[in-house]
Amino acid sequence: MVEQANIEIKRGDTWSKILYFEDDHCVHIDITGWTIYFTAKLDITDSDGDAEIEKTINTFENPLNGEAELSLTSEDTDLATGNYFYDIQVKTNLDEIYTIVEGVLTITQDITTRND
């Protein structure tokens, strides 16, 4: 079952989230050799090449304990305010592909816009 989660980020802000991978018994899964994909689109039917944000993560600081960090830079989130569809997919070291989270990414208007 795919988890549903909405994300709200101020336009141009840096954002990150630690993802934890566990089995059905809450035991950490070794994610060595995995690839994690984050994709955000204006329209679900847009091609991945037309995505507003595309992230591929295959280097992890703590893979044996099932931890991965998803980070978006201020350049990634410097988008028009509004709603974008996103998902997070994983490709395991056995070439299995799973969508683990999907939802709406809302980019909200920032108040401070100077970058001194």
For the segment 28-54, what is each residue's pLDDT rounded down to a tens digit?
A: 999 999 999 999 999 999 999 999 999
What are the residues facing 86 on neighbouring strands?
40, 103
Full-model pTM: 0.91
Determine the distance from the C-alpha atom of residue 31 to the mean position of all C-alpha atoms in its chain, rounded to a whole number.
16
- 6-19 pLDDT per residue, tens: 999 999 999 999 99
Phi first, then psi, for residue 88 (nearest 5°) are -125, 125
- The β-bridge relationship of strands 82-91 and 97-108 is antiparallel
Domains of the chain: 3-108 (2.60.40.10)
pLDDT digits (tens, 9 = 90+) for 67-96: 999 999 999 999 999 999 999 999 999 999
43-to-4, 51, 83, 85 alpha-carbon distances in Å: 17, 9, 10, 7
| pLDDT at residue number 115 | 65
